[in-house]
Structure 1
Amino acid sequence: MPATPLTHLPTREEAARWTAEQVVDLARERLALGCRFDAMKLEVEAMKHQLDWFRRQLFGQKSEKRLVDAHPHQMNLGELPVPDSSPPPPPAQDIAAHTRRARTTDYAAGDESAPFFDEARVPVETIAVPNPDAEGLTADQYEVIGEKTSFRLAQRPGSYVILKYVRPVIKRRDTQVISCPAAPRGVIEGSRADVSFIAGMLIDKFAYHLPFYRQHQRLGDTGITVSRPWLTQLGQHAIALIEPIFEAQFGSIRASRVKAMDETPIKAGRAGPGKLKAAYFWPVYGELDEVCFPFFESRRIEHVEQALGLTPVERGVLLSDGYTAYEHYTKKTGLTHAQCWAHTRRHLFEAKDAAPQVAAQALEFIGGLYAVEAHIREKKLSAAKKLDYRLMHAKPIVERFFAWVSQQFEAQGLLPSNPMTKALAYARERRFGLEVYLTDPDVPIDTNPLERALRAIPMGRRNWLFCWTELGARQVGIMQSLIVTCRLHDIDPYDYLVDVLQRVSQHPASRVHELTPRLWKQLFAGNPLRSPLHSPRP
């Protein structure tokens, strides 16, 4: 007969009437309930761990650094009296009221002498263009019968300026020939934008994450009337000019013996009404402090091959996190796969709530490894001395760490679903990759240089949120590659772009690699090309 569900404790008389079959059925039911209870308990613990992670991302500390308590007698900056040193407000100035006809065009084409700005609010600097036909002639040999004007939109960092080119129209008295010099050519044929404005616009968007629609609002607030599509088209043309430099820099990174790679998400391209596709940048960091952000439409394994190619560099090393795509690529190409200690530390740090004492011991081991690296940087050790120092001081710590990890698994004190168990398994499975840096002085301990370099992408996402098209995402990657590399080499991105936008169309294509930020600093930074806005004028 079927077992009756156990809803109350049976009396002695009821228990005496049970058959052996009923007892077995009730025991099975109890065992099943116990299994369900254990499964639900594990699920609740996993959900609590996820909830704690989300709370930390929103409100808590995300740094993995171990903070040292401040000295109890150390005062905070806010406790010190700070005198008010702000300058007095400038005196007010009355400006005469005026009425102007509303502009309906940005004058990107047509009559270039037509003003496209509010002359009462926008500063104008006049540049006189000499007439070459008047060279060598005295004042009585020709007369100025008129002049033509053309305007270029220029930019100083933080302000807009109009460059007014005055080109005299002359007539020679002896030949009666009328001539006028041509307007100076810009880096984009037929555009009203000076190279300084183009460079400033790109820096504002990609270095300071100011979208074009905000720049358009700022232009309007300063009295300059242009259209928003004009800014977008200007950016596209400019990025197309410097795309060969990006390709040359990417080639230099591919040739690096040691390189690091990661991936970061970006919304790009329409997936449907109101939806965007989930795509990825795959940033690659070379050993010469160069970084590129190639764009691919997914996180599939083959994108690593498409980015790095299948021709391995001799004794090449790829440093990455634990994503299986990199392991698959290194096995296929024969490269050495180095693993990142920072990602290992991150897994242990995020599991500290599940086993605080175990996490503290693990983080103490890894902290010792980073102390060794800090000493190497402080002493600026050469490659040979760095290798010896790592073998002498870091290798024993690594060996003790993995012996300790094995002890934790042998103790069987943690369940397989426990976050700390997963973190320890992550480290143990990647032991070979984590030990690569001990025997190769050119391999860093982690991918932190790349992590710092790719911050430009998540910082940008906070402002422009997504890329409307895949082409736009690729252009974001091109600009960020050059701007971030400029930062790595202490180059002002504005000065760099002003120079290369003028130089790239005249530079031999076979030597385009000379215009990458690293080589540009050596060859051209001492005497860069500048905008007429910054050129000395008589």
Structure 2
Amino acid sequence: MSQNTDNEKLIQQLLQERDEMYCELSRLRQADDGYLEVLKAQNTEQEALINKQKARLQKQEEQLNKMADQLAWYRRRFWKASSERYIPSDPNQRKIDFDGLDLLPEEENLAQDADKELLAYKRKQPQKQKKKPVRLPLPEDLRREEETIEPEGIDDNWTRIGEEVTEVLEHKPGELYVRRIIRPKYAAKPTQQEQEVPAVQIASLPPLPLPRSNAGASLLAELLINKYQHHLPFHRQITIFKQIGVSLPASTINGWFQGSCDLLRALYFRLREVVIKSDYIQVDESTVPVVNNEKNKTVKAYLWMVRSVMKNLVFFHYDKGSRAQKVVVGLLHGFQGAIQTDGYEAYSIYEQKKGVLLLGCWAHARRKFEESLAEDKAGAGYALAQIAKLYQVETMATEQDMDNMQRAELRKRLAYPIMVAFEKWIVNYYPKVLPKSKMGRALSYTYSLFHRLSRYHLDGRYKIDNNLAENAIRPLALGRKNYLFCGNHDAAENAAVIYSLLGCCKAADVNPREWLTDVLTKIPVYNNDYSLDLADLLPHNWKNS
């Protein structure tokens, strides 16, 4: 009996210990679960914070890369001196080879031969030595005022043995003068016989540019040249005239300017006809600020420029500031021949037009790769080196004074194999770059226009780039930095008239002051006599006559 009692006590004790252990275990489990939940919550917060920091760092890194690219571009654009260092099958058919994208052995051999010939030619050329500046003598036709300076202490004991002459170029402000046209009147003496003659005789007034105006042709020419060639706004010229004693109201100057443009407008339209009738032109466009009275601010408008390459004529066109495709279609209506442009999409309409050959500009393609140098030095450097070889071919033809046929043959022999290899390199290299990167955009731009870029080799007259057109536009860029804007669409059209005619003077190496003074005197006669051809007054014809 006692044994049973002891067993029960033991069992009760064991059960009690088990219960206590179970309770303790439950308590510990609850405590552990709460601690784990806390740890999990803390871990989740830390992971969220880490992810947030990673996203922030990634965004900052992208911004830094973008700013580094922009800084590199601005340094090259504004602080680094412009350099031309990187100017770094069937030749009559320009399309990629149907045998595949890989460079064929014969194509590679032709490209290597072209490289060797260009390198050999470059090594043979003598090194150009810098010329030391030489002071040129002053022109003999300039008026000279003599000033004699005698040394001190000279008396009869001295004999003059010679002299030292020093010539210094001086300047006086410009001079305005009055041209007085005197026409004597004569009355007939009374005679016995009546004669059918007027009682009073007086000479006819010579033709003046602007009727009912006291502005002479030379003054009008000076106003136009100062504004559109020397970039002096009219208010500055009025100040200059006031300094030499002549006060001219702004309204009078503006009236003279409008009258001069109206007088020259017929010659301007005749220039357009001559340019469009040529068979090789370059086209470009540039901005000009124009005041919009409705918006009470200046808006960006566009001037179109057409350059006849062979005739060396320049024509500017303004159509309410529009850059739309319809403007260039109307501007070049009836043109037949080669058109050289940049990659602006508006010109693509001429790709399929019968009788028109669309040419590209290697300078624009080169510019894209120059902007990519900081991003992909190896790829952009290779592309610039290939473009430099094409320009070296042009230098070689120019230095050897080749005619157009010889230049075209040289291009087919040297430039064409380089272009074939370069085109296939572009196709193979493009998958290695990001499409939206600067290098990707440069490759895409060049390849999309490669058929236009390569056509210049077909004719020795065609230029490798559109730089001559951009040079013709440069006075417009300088002018808008000085007179800032055009007051309205009519003022912009007048600017197109003057820029066109002065651009032709520059291209023909004609003194614009002499030409404009003479033409403003003669053009009233041409405008009233339709048997005369206004083209005779264009600078290149005027110079020859």
Normalised TM-score (structure 2): 0.70
2:518 paired with 1:518: no
Match of 1:264? 286
- For the residue of structure 2 that corresponds to 1:285, the secondary structure is strand
In our comparison, the structure showing a higher alpha carbon Rg is 2
Match of 2:328? 304
Segment of structure 1 superposing worse, 50-59 or 194-203: 50-59
Match of 1:277? 299
**Letter of the 1:165 counterpart:** I
- Residues 271/436 of structure 1: CA separation in 2 closer, same or farther (3 Å cut): farther
Match of 1:407? 428
Task: Please give the residue correspondences for 1:9-158 in structure 2 after superposition, counting only pairs within 5 Å.
Answer: 41-65=61-85, 158=174
Match of 2:91? none
Q: Is the 8 A contact 1:246 1:516 kept in 2?
A: no
Higher relative contact order (CA closer than 8 Å, sequence separation 6+) = 2
Match of 2:403? 382
- Residues 233/396 of structure 1: CA separation in 2 closer, same or farther (3 Å cut): same
- For the residue of structure 2 that corresponds to 1:387, the secondary structure is helix
CA distance in 2, matches of 1:427, 1:67: 15
Which whole-Å deviations, capped at 9, do the CAs of 1:304-343 have from their partners, x for residues lacking one? 112111x341xx2211111111113433566222110000
Give the unaligned 5+ runs of structure 1: 1-12, 69-73, 81-87, 92-155, 525-538
Match of 1:96? none
What is the aligned counterpart of 1:238 among 247, 254, 260? 260
**Letter of the 1:265 counterpart:** T
CA distance in 2, matches of 1:53, 1:274: 34
Task: Please give the residue correspondences for 1:527-538 in structure 2 after superposition, counting only pairs within 5 Å.
Answer: none
- Residues 308/44 of structure 1: CA separation in 2 closer, same or farther (3 Å cut): farther
Q: Is the 8 A contact 1:285 1:291 kept in 2?
A: yes
CA distance in 2, matches of 1:394, 1:67: 14
Match of 2:318? 295
2:492 paired with 1:473: yes
CA distance in 1, matches of 2:214, 2:469: 38
CA distance in 1, matches of 2:37, 2:307: 74
Bigger fraction of residues in helix:
2
What is the aligned counterpart of 2:505 among 486, 489, 493? 486
CA distance in 1, matches of 2:130, 2:520: 50
- For the residue of structure 1 that corresponds to 2:178, the secondary structure is strand
Q: CA deviation at 1:448?
A: 0.6
2:518 paired with 1:499: yes
What is the aligned counterpart of 1:197 among 198, 208, 219? 219
Match of 1:138? none
- For the residue of structure 2 that corresponds to 1:283, the secondary structure is strand
- For the residue of structure 1 that corresponds to 2:176, the secondary structure is strand
What is the aligned counterpart of 2:418 among 387, 397, 408? 397
What is the aligned counterpart of 1:325 among 328, 342, 346? 346
Q: CA deviation at 1:354?
A: 0.9
Match of 2:441? 422
Identity of aligned residues (%): 27
CA distance in 2, matches of 1:471, 1:63: 39
- For the residue of structure 1 that corresponds to 2:525, the secondary structure is coil
The count of corresponding residues between Structure 1 and Structure 2 is 429
Q: Is the 8 A contact 2:207 2:521 kept in 1?
A: no
**Letter of the 1:45 counterpart:** N
Which whole-Å deviations, capped at 9, do the CAs of 1:253-275 have from their partners, x for residues lacking one? 21222211111000113254651
Which whole-Å deviations, capped at 9, do the CAs of 1:272-316 have from their partners, x for residues lacking one? 46511210011011131111110132222211112111x341xx2
CA distance in 2, matches of 1:425, 1:39: 27
Which whole-Å deviations, capped at 9, do the CAs of 1:155-193 have from their partners, x for residues lacking one? x99432222334556677768x77765654422112111
- For the residue of structure 1 that corresponds to 2:298, the secondary structure is strand
